[in-house]
Amino acid sequence: MTTVLIIIASVVVLFIVLLMYSRHKLKNLPKVDAHESILQLSDQNFNHQIKGKVVLVDFWAEWCAPCKMMLPVLNEVAESSNGNFSVAKVDVDKNQALAQKYSIRSIPTLVAFKDGKEVARFIGVKNKSFLMGEMKKLQAP
């Protein structure tokens, strides 16, 4: 019986240590600036910027660690878009009406728009190859 309790206690302690380590690593992610071609959208310019083109919009927040992890990926996607589509970001804390309009319940949420209409939604951290593949599908007639 004591052996079982020792094993359980060891597992719990190990889990707590891993949780603290992960939290520390996520909080100390280096700050990455958005690529110059990434559009910063707001309640005021959103509809105008997504009309008549294909746009991948990242709904994010400053305090969100997974959102910070997505920024380098979005930078690469924006750089690789070759003008076929645009990449944009919406800060959900500053633009709560947009987040509510598009029912953003968790972040990061990436929403693809074609001609102003939502055509795809991806929740969570995604890699460049996945996003490029999905955006390529949307460009087909």
Answer yes or no: 16 catalytic.
Answer: no
- Give percent of the chain with pLDDT exceeding 70: 89
Selecting among 61, 64, 132, 138, the annotated active-site residue is 64
Q: Which H helix or E strand runs over 97?
A: helix 96-101
Answer yes or no: 47 catalytic.
Answer: no
Closest CA to 56 of 44, 73, 33, 31: 73
* Residue 26: band (very low, low, confident or very high) from pLDDT cuts 50, 70, 90: low
Stronger pLDDT, 46 or 22, i.e. the higher one = 46
* pLDDT tops 70 at residue 32: no
Residue 18's pLDDT is 84
- Region of 86 on the Ramachandran plot (φ > 0 left; ψ -120 to 50 alpha; else beta): beta
Residue 101's pLDDT is 95
pTM given for the model: 0.77
Residue 31's pLDDT is 63
Selecting among 67, 71, 99, 112, the annotated active-site residue is 67
